[in-house]
Structure 1
Amino acid sequence: MTLTAGIDAGTQSVKVVVYDDQARRVVAAASAPLELSSGEDGSREQHPDAWVAAVRSCFGALDAELRGRIKAISVSGQQHGFVALDAQGEVLAPAKLWCDTSSSAECVEIMDAVGGAERSIALAGNPILAGYTASKLPWTRKHRPDVYQRLATILLPHDYLNFWLTGRAFCEHGDASGTGWMDVRTRQWSAEMLHAIDAERDLTPCLPPLVASDRVFQLQPGRADELGLAREVIVAVGGGDNMMAAIGTGCVVPGRLAMSLGTSGTLFAYSDAAMVDPDGSWAAFCSSTGGWLPLICTMNCTVATETIARLFGFSTRDGDVHIESTTPGAGGLTLLPFLNGERTPDLPLAKGVLTGMGTHNASAAHFYRAAMEGATFTLKHGYDAFLAAGMQFDRIVLTGGGATSAAWRQMVADVFDLPVEVPREAEGAAFGAALQALWACSLAQGADLSLAELVDAHVGIDAALACTPEPSRVAAYREPYRRFLEHLVAVRQLYTA
């Protein structure tokens, strides 16, 4: 029996799961909430100390005997965050997060410096979009000059937790591809993109070394004692939360589409080759498994349903009742749920827009359905770009908090006209990290086992939560989706003017 732990440091909480490879199940789990500091300028920040405190809290909540039997751990972390360290390894400022849109002007400045979005894609595989790490550096230079002057090491959120656990600064290719300054084709830092970020300073010495997905590091003895773990515990490289969710949902071979309904919404599919779109319709990321992970990310998913539920004074746990009492199209309501600005489509300065309200649909139920449909339609808009590129899928593997809603699972099946499956282990990113840790253990013990083979053996589907498209509802969603796209065209003109 091997016990491994997966740590998922998300936007709203830190979660830890402990996986038993013989029982093929998660045998323990703990979570701790995180606060988000928000500013009217679009700033969204957290202090890395809060992540550390939450990790301590999670391990402290686990049974001591169980902790002592854990062999390996791995960290999943929210992508794109910027953690600035000084020469002594101390945090210089709160971390700017993936959902921070205050540096949208700097995105344009960086791309202008290299010759536009097309040139940025040619150099690194991606344009610099709102939330990507790259724009946070010139923003810091302008607004926190002392921090920028003292900056010695640049880390992503999951990198920082690895640094805290191991005392080593390193970065793996999946999470690194979300910075905007790594060429996803060559898996190397791009000197030209770094120069575009700051033409007067060579940022290369600030970047941690890039490491392969099968590397392991030793847990610091002091951290082991602090967390109640054995000193022999190894730390796998981990990755961005989307990359770890790909492992946790079995999306490590071509042809599978994973969808995460969390604070942000994501669609991703494994590829054996770099999938770079010349128009930047999706994020051309690397996976944390040695391949690539073309990805669609929307910045407003469960945040839309939670906002409407809060507005009308009910819990999203009771939201399915409102969906069941209404019909596709929300009685003519259309919600473009761009409450945090939006990345896909690329509208960082956009706001939420609600249209079509009349006396017949001015109800909590219709508003809630419009929020859920708006979040789902935004993902469908991104999915259409995958189809236009020739990608084909036969099912959707659904994860994230929204996947606990039976109504949302059925809505996804009907809007996308694809069967929906839900993994047996609900915490896809944390579970994926635990599986990566298990793979690291297997390699350390001399096993000749690919990660895809291990994932195939351990990722199971909850048959009771599966659903298939209902033909009448598939047809009923076509007109509301067409209406959504029409409104999107109008809003795009409004918020890019």
Structure 2
Amino acid sequence: MTVVAGLDAGTQSVKLVVYDADARVVLASASAPLDLTSGDDGSREQDPAAWVDAMRACFAAIDVGLRHRIAALGVSGQQHGFVPVDEAGQVLGPAKLWCDTSTSAQCGPIMDAVGGPARCIELAGNPILAGYTASKLPWTREHRPEVYARLATILLPHDYLNFVLTGERYCEHGDASGTGWLDVRTRQWSAELLAATDAGRDLGGCLPPLVDADASFAILPGIATELGLSRDVRVSAGGGDNMMAAIGTGCVSEGRLTMSLGTSGTLFAYADQPIVDPGGAWAAFCSSSGGWLPLICTMNCTVVTEQVAKMFGFSTRDGDARIDATQPGADGLTFLPFLNGERTPDLPLGKGVLAGLAPHNMREAQIYRAAMEGATYSLRYGYDAFVAAGMQFDRIALTGGGANSAAWRQMVADVFDCPVDVPAQTESAAFGAALQALWSLSRSRGEATTLAALAAEHVAVDPALGCSPDPERVRAYRPAYQRFLRHLDAVRPLYAESPPAPLQ
């Protein structure tokens, strides 16, 4: 039997799935929590050693006999993070994460150095947005000069775990396109953007070589023994969590659309060629399957509902009852859910706004609904850009923690007026990493299997969780969404520039 594993290092936890490809069943799964260090300046950081400890804990939770049967392993990781590594492979400081907005001031100067955002998109397909890896380098040069001086290699979170597993420093095109430096059209690092990030240093020399999506590497004997794995295990190229979730939900052929309701919210579609918007309305990323992955990312999704539930002292597990007790539109409340700043719409300095408060709607159920609606409307805002560009979709594959909510699944179907499917494997990023590992293993054996064919065999939906739009609710959400857009337009000027310095 062919048994493969997928490891997903997210913001809140590391998750592991072990999959029997012949029986088409997940044999085991495990997870370990992660802490997040937050600062008032918008910084969001983690210690990469915590990812390694969590990986060890996940494997330790799996039966040792099953671990020995694993033939290949794939790693998924949160995108855009910056792990500074020295020549000896030692981590020099905490990893700045995708949700870190403390470096937003460094985005503009990089783009200005090449002629502005439009020129940046011409060079690489994307502007440099808050959270992208590129802006973290000048921030580190300014705030952690000792780290910057010793920096030998720039690794992304999943690159770092691959390095721990294989001893090799490499990167693949999907995750690399989230740095802001990769020209997604040519799949090569942009020398001009690297120079714009630091004209006095060859940052290209700090970037690992790029490998194909079906590449695989031998595991280090020592780490194999430590994790209880065979020394014959192959480690695939892996990729960013969105890229792996695309594989895990079957979004590896044109016409497919996946929505992930996680800490961040994402929408992504597969394409056989680069899909670049001149205005930067979406991220023009490469996929981790050999194609491209136009992607919309919002930085505030389940984090918003979780914060509201925490504020009122209940669990999000009980949130559906609040949604069921209220009506679309939250009795006039509008929640702009930009608690961590926002990428879509592009408001890195944005804050959460709750508007429309009145005596009749100042209740926890209405506010909770407004939070869920606001997170959903932000994704709809990005979806509208896809549709305006001519992309067409007839179904949405829904994944992430928010997909566990029946109320949220139905809300997505109604707000988007589109049927929703839920993949049977709920840990889509970890499952996608396992499928990529299976694909790379088959390719290393000389088989001509395509990833699209493999996904068609192994990605299934749960028929009990799918839902269709309700015409009455579809009509009810339309004016509420328009109200969200009006409030968005009203607050844009408030968060478009840096706040004034405090009075002395």
TM normalised by structure 1 equals: 1.00
Q: CA deviation at 1:17?
A: 0.2
CA distance in 1, matches of 2:418, 2:23: 31
Distance across 2 between alignment mates of 1:366 and 1:214: 48
Give the Cα separation in 2 of the matches to 1:222 and 1:294: 39
1:440 to partner: Cα distance: 1.6
**Partner of 1:252: helix, strand, or coil?**
coil
Equivalence map 1:374-385=2 (5 Å): 374-385=374-385
Residue 172 (1) aligns with residue 172 (2)? yes
Q: In the alignment, which residue of structure 1 is the partner of 2:221?
A: 221
State how far apart, in whole Å, the 2-side matches of 1:220 and 1:264 are. 33
Secondary structure (helix, strand or coil) at the match of 1:433 reads: helix
Structure 1 match to 2:500: none
- Does residue 1:472 correspond to 2:459, yes or no? no
Alignment of 1:247-286 (within 5 A): 247-286=247-286
1:338 aligned partner, one-letter code: F
- How far residue 388 of structure 1 moved from its aligned partner, in angstroms, is 0.5
Q: How far off is 1:21 after superposition?
A: 0.8
* Aligned position for 1:419: 419
Offset of 1:494 from its aligned partner?
Answer: 1.2
Deviation at 1:407, TM superposition (A): 0.2
Q: For residue 457 of structure 2, what is the aligned residue in structure 1?
A: 457
Q: Distance in 1 between matches of 2:277 and 2:183?
A: 14
Residues 382-425 of structure 1, C-alpha deviations (whole Å, 9 max, x = no match): 00000010000000000000000000000000000000000000
Instruction: Give the number of aligned pairs.
Output: 497
**Contact 2:135/2:197 (<8 A) preserved:** yes
- What's 1:78 paired with? 78
Letter in 2 for 1:191: A
Structure 1 runs of 4+ off > 2 angstroms?
none
Which residue of structure 1 aligns with residue 32 of structure 2?
A: 32
Using the TM superposition, give the Cα deviation of residue 25 of structure 1 relative to its aligned residue in structure 2, in angstroms. Answer: 1.3
Aligned residues of 2:44 and 2:100 also touching (Cα < 8 A) = yes
Once residues 478 and 52 of structure 2 are traced to their aligned partners in structure 1, the CA distance between those partners, rounded to angstroms, is: 46
Deviations 1:438-470 (CA, angstroms, capped at 9, x unpaired): 112212222221011000000001000000000
Q: Secondary structure at the match of 1:17?
A: strand
In structure 2, distance between residues paired with 1:175 and 1:444: 22
Letter in 2 for 1:170: Y
Aligned to 1:344: 344
The 3-state SS of whatever aligns with 1:30 is strand
Identity %: 72
Q: Could you tell me how far 1:63 is from its partner in structure 2?
A: 0.4
Aligned to 1:371: 371
SS at match of 1:382: helix
Q: TM-score, normalised by structure 2?
A: 0.98
Partner in structure 2 of residue 129 of structure 1:
129
Aligned to 1:64: 64
Question: Which amino acid in the other structure matches residue 131 of structure 2?
Answer: G
Contact 2:216-2:441 within 8 A present in 1 as well: no
Residue pairs, 1:259-338, within 5 angstroms: 259-338=259-338
Matched residue SS, 1:335? strand
SS at match of 1:57: helix
Residue aligned with 1:351, SS: coil
Q: What residue number does 2:117 align with?
A: 117
The amino acid across from 1:382 in the alignment is G
Mark the runs of 5 or more structure 1 residues left unpaired by the alignment. none
Q: Distance in 2 between matches of 1:296 and 1:205?
A: 30
Cα distance in 1 for partners of 2:204, 2:459 equals: 39
Give the 3-state SS of the residue equivalent to 2:464 in structure 1. helix
Q: Which amino acid aligns with 1:475?
A: R
Equivalents in 1 of 2:86, 2:174: separation in Å?
Answer: 25
2:15 & 2:439 partners in 1: Cα distance? 20
Residue 22 of structure 1 deviates from its aligned partner by 1.6
1:219, CA displacement in angstroms? 0.3
Aligned counterpart, 1:211: 211
Does residue 430 (structure 1) correspond to residue 444 (structure 2)? The answer is no
Instruction: Please tell me the residue identity of whatever aligns with 2:55.
Output: V
Counterpart Cα distance in 1 of 2:269 and 2:451:
16
Q: 1:270-308 deviations in whole A, cap 9, x for unaligned?
A: 000100100000000000011000000000000000000
Backbone CA RMSD of aligned residues: 0.5
State the 1:202 CA deviation.
Answer: 1.0
In the alignment, which residue of structure 2 is the partner of 1:202?
A: 202
Give the SS at the match of 1:27: strand
The AA in structure 2 aligned to 1:265 is: G
Matching residue of 1:235: 235
For 1:209 and 1:448, the matched residues in 2 are separated by: 25
State the one-letter code of the partner of 2:338: F
> What residue identity is the alignment partner of 2:223?
R
SS at match of 1:68: helix
Instruction: Measure, in 1, the Cα distance between the counterparts of 2:382 and 2:487.
Output: 16
Counterpart of 1:51 in structure 2 is 51
Q: Where does residue 410 of structure 2 map in the other structure?
A: 410
Q: Which residue identity lines up with residue 277 of structure 1 in the other structure?
A: D
SS state of the match for residue 165, structure 2?
helix
Matched, 1:141 2:141: yes
Give the structure 2 partner of residue 389 of structure 1: 389
| 1:442 and 2:442 correspond | yes
- 2-side partners of 1:237 and 1:483: how far apart? 44
Aligned mates of 1:456, 1:190 — CA distance in 2:
35
The equivalent residue for 2:502 is none
- Who is 2:501 aligned against? none
Question: 3-state SS of the aligned residue for 2:23?
Answer: coil
Give the Cα separation in 2 of the matches to 1:174 and 1:347: 24
1:23, 1:207 → 2: CA distance? 40
CA distance in 2, matches of 1:316, 1:146: 43
Any idea what the Cα deviations from partners look like across 1:209-231, whole Å, max 9, x if unmatched?
Answer: 00001111000000000000000
Write out per-residue CA displacement over residues 232-277 of structure 1, whole angstroms, 9 at most, x where no aligned residue: 0000000000000000000000001100000000000000010010
- How far apart, CA to CA, are the structure 1 residues paired with 2:204 and 2:323? 51
Corresponding residue SS for 1:464: coil
Q: Partner residue of 1:161?
A: 161
Superposition deviation, residue 427 in structure 1: 0.4
Following the alignment from structure 1 to structure 2, what is the Cα–Cα distance between the partners of residues 22 and 2?
Answer: 6
C-alpha displacement at 1:28, in angstroms?
Answer: 0.2
Partner of residue 42, structure 1 = 42
Larger mean CA deviation between 10-19 and 485-494 belongs to 485-494
